[in-house]
Structures are given as structure tokens and as C-alpha cells.
Structure 1
């Protein structure tokens, strides 16, 4: 039987439609005018006595946003985006942007994927909302039916859906504490698990996410991630040595700071996101499983950003340690291609320890988001996405590695890393001696390389993001990205890096 063969619920009405045969890029979205774009005009118009408000120009709407959107929310630019199609974004003032951010790894199938959008639109006319504590609804159960065969371990057979990655982490914290009767958590330096009060307490990538909001949830201990930055060693340090050093630091935590009998869970991202797109060495994941089994600690795998073929497989741990058994798997972002839904998966033994009524949420497992999630899984499970990630990843890394070895630019670049279409380039920094390995002491290293490269890309209509406390640019295009789009984006990026090298 195929891994993705139907398992149940065939009596339920279908939520989405079969995917049409799609030549070429089997994942390109259709071209549909966005109704919201009608609210934006190139020139402002005066309101009359019968209208509630004037039609504003793009510039006026941007000014409106600066005045009325929470100051705590940052932006790359003040573009007003009115339409998305595949990897293209269109602004109210007529710009066309090539999007290599995918909503920070959310729109894995590109903006407005036709199959996903059609399924969501159809669901709107059937059932928009039924609170999950009142009754089952068909899309909730059908999404589980689609996800069960996609789970990285067969033990993961019960699910709880929520709205965001942070909320899913909050759910995992609650489950871990209730299931074990213990309170403490261990996380890793560079980790990003969210910015709510519980998930924010687990986050260790940047202080901005929680600064000024303490005291945070107590009982969280941070150990070193097996990444050269976190251990203060050179980038060329072997993977074996990084694992040895990280294992030693974890052992010290359990000997000096918290007794393992008081630890409920260890949380880890298989590929750190806000920590710099750093894959965890497989040997370290195996070590964590051994530690957890020895001490009755739950192993929580956070695949919020790395899941749903972002790294080339349904979940990253399938490539890193195929036999790994998470006690709790956390997922979000790519599950429904932009519709707000997240979830945790665990086994019946762990979930059976929860008190009935302890889990819930007004919008958790929303019917429209679930319908979108079902349609997204149907696209993923065709196999075309996985094949495309494999090919386009090689193309992307060829460009990045070319810059890292090129005579014009290699003195700027500390490391290229990542998995699949979750890739990063870290630049050298004179204030960070670890990054200067391999360059002579008289080599001139420009300041703020990443920000300057990003600014050039933005000025040339390519959207890319930085990440981590280190000088790193990440690449997270939709998994439907074409050969031409990779070439186009990388030509801009290569020129940006070469310009910084030339300008100094």
C-alpha cells in the first residue's frame, strides 16, 4: 500500500476537488484579480457625501499603515501588496516583486495556489466555523486522515490543531507537563519557538522577541546547539567535534543546573530557523533520544518552519534520522499554504494523560483552514513538489557555493548551509572572530554585509530575509520555484554580493 493511501473517512463528503493535470510547473496559481486591489488607486480621489471614505493612493495607504499599525511590528519596506501569484507579488503602485520569503516559509506552494484556494472557497460555502469542543467537523477529520501517513513515525497517530506555530508550542508545553507531571524544559541556544509568553520563554535566538516583557515562564534551561557559533569554535570544526562539545554541555546542564527527573521535555528544531538555518547533526538527535529514554523526558521536535517538504522531505528528521521517534511533533506554516492552522501530533499513551477539556481554542482547527490543509497535502503527496525541491536546491546551492569559492567574493563569506530550499549564507564580521577563519589579517572585511546585500536585492525587486543574531541571509522561496526564477533571483543576489566586495 502507498504511504499516502486512504485510511478512513471515505463516507465523509469531499472537501476539495481532484487536482487537474498540470503541464510544466504543476503548481502554478491562476491569475485572478484581487478584489482588495480595487481599494487602491494610483491617484487619490475625493470622497463625496454618499461615500464612507476616499479611495486612497498606494502612498496614502502606506502612510495610513505607518500611523495605525502597531509600532512593534517591523517591515522590510512599506509596500502595499494587493496580489500574489506563485512567486510574484504585486503592489498597489505597480511593482512586481520576486518573493524569496514565502511569508517566512508559509506559502510553500506559492501564493494563491489554485487547488488550495479552490478548496478553501468551496468550504466557505459549506461550513466556515464549528468550535472544536462542540463537535467533529469533516475537514478536521479529513486533514488528520491526510496527515497520518505523512508522519515521520508511525507512533504519531493523534492530533490537536491550533492557529499558529507559537500556539502549537504552547500546546506542546502543556501536554509535556501534564503527561510527565514534571515542569522544566530544556532548549538550545539559537532556538526560535515563538514569542508568546510560554513559547517566548523557550526562544533563544534574539532578545528582541521577549525583551521588556519578563518575567517569562520559569523552568527553562538552555544548552549549546551543535553549531560552531554557539560553541565558540571555527566553522571548519568537524561535525563529530561539534556533537561532542554539545553533548558535554547538555551533560553539564543535567548534572549542575537541573536534575533530569525534573525535566518534562527537550525541545529542538531539526533545522534552526531564526538561529541561522543550521541543520542539527544526526548523531546529536540520536543522543537526545537516548537521553530522553533514559530519564523519562519527552523529545519535542519543532518542524514549524522545516516541515512540509521545505528541506526536501515531508519532515526534516526523515532525512536526518529516519528512525527517530518524536514524542511530540510540532508543525505549522506550510501545512495549509497560508491559511492559519498549526498542530501537534503525539501518541495515544501521551495524549490519554490529558484531562478532557484541557485542550481547545475558539478557532483551533477552523474548517476553512483544514480544507486548505487537505488540498495542500493532496498537492504535496503527488510527488512533484519533492522532485522540484531536489532539483532547484542543487541549482540554488551551486550559485551560493560559487560565491563562497569565487575570487571576487570568498573573503566576504563565512559559510553556506541548509537543506533543500531552506538555505543560508553567513557573512564574515570583524567583530566576530569565529567568522574570520581562512582570511589573512590584512583582508578588508566590509561592515554590515548582509544588510547591504539585502538592500540591493530589495532595490531590484527581489525579496530576501536576514536571520539570526549573526550576519546571515536566508532563502525560502516557494517550493514551486522554477529554474528561471532561481536564475533570475541569483543573478540579482550575485551582483549584490559582488557590489559589496567591490565597494568594500
Structure 2
């Protein structure tokens, strides 16, 4: 069944470019932004958002775009979903804040019960609320070290990982040098190891996917734990089930079962960062479910509350055991955000959005795979559900990153009415709202493929 279309805008009219972007109103906003906001982040292109309708966004000049970003994997239920808007209004009329780490309110229990019901962790579980993904990671770092009473000071993370940019999470992040440049010293005792990236396996390009996974596991056991640190001093392994900013990298089928086995062998906790992959994005509530592995802790944010600032840490009750007074915050578990979060879970369930994510995602991957034999630029297509990466390369044999070409593809797609960004060095990052109709997804794919072919032709002239 296709997703419901709640919005008055006609999906047949999208995309629609009424003035070449950035138009005059957008340019005015951009100019003011540059003079008033610290420019410590880079925008992808001059898209100035005014409204959102499901999987469609409208800019300041009235241009309509198919949203293949979902606000960076946040708007899984689409923009301005009427059920979410109504839930926010209802709660805002009751109360908007009363710190849950100092007092009580019933909304916390309702939402926490729903979270505990959908996370793939068996047995008794506990929840801690945060304001963002990076804060969820920071909190999880305190949980694992506190659980072992700091007798296990080391944490394992992966090269290519993105876990946030505040000080603790930044020590785990290893995606781009600029994210760490100038901020040393990092938090100590974080060890990074290669991630099993099948298309670019760090242990050899001739390895099968499964051999690549085994090589990474062997490196952890035979090198890190044998020559660098004792596993008895390791508290946790933090991982993304699909690396996000690292390039939408999907590890081999054998990797997480093998990682779980190693963790169990040494009493190490597995911390699953689902900040980007969670809440139906991959066709399941949480991406780790595709591997049939239970983590000890799951961190989440982004899509949890349809754009309102909310995050959470959910873990085994036996692990979530920090003593009273050791960790808290003011705004985590904000009641308006929780009201939105309750309705997010209801909407994803009621409207079969995970089924649609799988159906539309399979179609999108199929379309790009069909072009691989005809377009030199398309080197690899991967992903689960609506978390899809299309890696562009200058040459299929050498796999040289197509860094200049992907900038052209993203900008030209934007000019034609598709908002899409990249991950890694040259991977198109496709993550639309889960309620995108097949027809809109098809339009967006047609535009992106046409742009890729155009850039491919021009570069060989």
C-alpha cells in the first residue's frame, strides 16, 4: 500500500523551479547568515527552506524540491506530518518544560515504554534521555566507563566513523580530519581500527565481502588485543551498523555476529550508534536487526521526534547503572519532543512506513545498479531500505574518488529540483522521508541519473 498523502500540494507538480536558485529572497537570507552566524559548518548548496510537505521542501522563492535528505535522516515521517503537528500543539497547551531529571511526568513513561518495546535488546532495559545524537554518544561513554567503575578505560571505535563533534564523541569520530583538526588533545584511550568496507576493503581489494569482515575481526584479535591493549581493559566497542558520513558503508553479513562473539569472549559491551540509521530508515526499527545481533546499548536521536531536539540511550538494565547524581541534564526528555516522539512511533507503525522504505529503497538501488554497466562514474551501489549510497569513481578499475564530479552532481541536481547530499569522499547519500511515494522517488532518481550521465560525458571530452 502506498503511503498516505496528507498535504494539499499536488505531488505531480514536484519538482518545480519557478526562479533559478538561489533566487533573490534566498540570496538575501544567505547574505545575512554570513554576517551573523559563525561559519563553522559548510552548506551543500544555497537551499533556503521555507516550508516542508511530506517528502517535499519549498524554498524562500517558491521552488519545490524532492527531498532526498529528510533533513539529514531526521524527517522519517516527512515534513509537517499532521499527526505530529497536532501532538505538538496538544502538549504545548499543557506544559512545555519541567526537568525530568529533577521531577516526574507521565509522558516520559509512555515514550520510554514504547522505546523499550521496539529496541532489539532482550530482557529488562532502561532509558536515558538526551538532546541530540552527540549527547547520546557522550552519555553512553559515561555509562560504559561508569559501569566498569573505570576499571576498563579503553574504547574501540572504527575508522570512517562519525559519532559527533563535542569533545567526547569527537574522540570516537574518524571521518574527516577537519572535524578533529586544532582540537587536540582528544579524550584518551580511544583506539580506532579499520571498518569492513567491502568496496574498498582495507586488507585487500581481492577479498570477498566475508573475507573482508573476517580480516577486520582478525585485526582486532590478533593485533590490537595481542600487541596493543589487553581486552580486559576495554569497556566497549562503539559502531555504526551502517557508517553514515563515512560513505553509507554496509558491512558484510558475518561482521556483527563475529564482533558480538569477540565482545562476549572478553566481557566487552557493544554500543550501537543508530542516530542516523534508526526509526525505520533501513526498513527495520533499527539497522542492527538486519544482522540478528543484540547490542548492549543503543544510542539514538535524529528521527526520534520528527525534528524536535531529542535523543536517547537505551541499554540493558544491568549496564545502565550509573549512581544517582552522576549524570543528568536540563532539557533531555522535553515533554513537547516526547509527545512528537510518541506519534513518530505510531505513524511509522500505522502507515507501514518501514514496508514502504524497503519497497522504494529496493527500487532506487535497482535503478542505479542498472546504470552501472553504462556509466563509468557509478562504481558501487549499496544500502538497506532508504539508506542508500551510490559511490562515484573516476575509474572503475582504480576506484579513484570522483570528488570534483560529485560536487557537480549534487549542485546540478539541486538546480533541477532534487535536494541530495553526499557521504564519504564521493558517495551520493540517498535518505528521503520514509513516506515518499514511488512516483516522486522515480522522478528524483531520473533527474540524478540524467545529471550523472551529463557529468560523465563532459569529463571525458
The answer, yes or no, to whether TM exceeds 0.5 is yes
- Greater Cα offset, 64-73 or 90-99: 90-99
325, 328, 335: which one pairs with 1:367?
A: 335
Cα 1:371–1:27 change in 2 (3 A) is farther
**Partner of 2:432: helix, strand, or coil?**
coil
CA RMSD of aligned residues (A): 2.0
**Partner of 1:143: helix, strand, or coil?**
helix
Distance 1:140 1:29 in 2: 30
Q: CA offset at residue 170 of structure 1?
A: 0.2
Confirm or deny that 1:143 pairs with 2:114: no
Q: CA offset at residue 448 of structure 1?
A: 2.0
Check conservation: 2:3, 2:351, Cα contact below 8 A. Answer: no
Matched with 1:292 is 263
Distance 2:316 2:228 in 1: 30
Cα 1:197–1:226 change in 2 (3 A) is same
Distance 1:58 1:102 in 2: 20
Matched with 2:79 is 111
Q: CA offset at residue 280 of structure 1?
A: 2.2
4+ residue runs over 4 A deviation: none
Matched with 2:326 is 358
Confirm or deny that 1:231 pairs with 2:202: yes
Confirm or deny that 1:330 pairs with 2:299: yes
Matched with 1:154 is 122
Larger C-alpha radius of gyration, 1 or 2?
Answer: 1
Alignment of 1:249-398 (within 5 A): 249-251=219-221, 252-321=223-292, 324-352=293-321, 354-382=322-350, 384-398=352-366
**Partner of 1:306: helix, strand, or coil?**
coil
**Partner of 1:187: helix, strand, or coil?**
strand
- Greater Cα offset, 488-497 or 136-145: 136-145
Q: CA offset at residue 151 of structure 1?
A: 1.3
Check conservation: 1:107, 1:478, Cα contact below 8 A. Answer: yes
Q: CA offset at residue 381 of structure 1?
A: 2.0
Confirm or deny that 1:203 pairs with 2:158: no
Q: CA offset at residue 337 of structure 1?
A: 1.2
Q: TM-score, structure 2 length as denominator?
A: 0.91
468, 483, 502: which one pairs with 2:438?
A: 483
Structure 1 unaligned regions, length at least 5: 1-22, 32-41, 43-55, 437-444
Distance 1:78 1:454 in 2: 12
**Partner of 2:281: helix, strand, or coil?**
coil
Structure 2 unaligned regions, length at least 5: 10-18
Aligned pair count?
A: 442
Q: CA offset at residue 483 of structure 1?
A: 1.2
Distance 1:421 1:113 in 2: 19
Matched with 2:31 is 63
Check conservation: 1:446, 1:500, Cα contact below 8 A. Answer: no
Q: CA offset at residue 475 of structure 1?
A: 0.2
Matched with 1:5 is none
Q: CA offset at residue 92 of structure 1?
A: 1.6
Check conservation: 1:30, 1:114, Cα contact below 8 A. Answer: no
Confirm or deny that 1:461 pairs with 2:425: no
Matched with 1:243 is 213
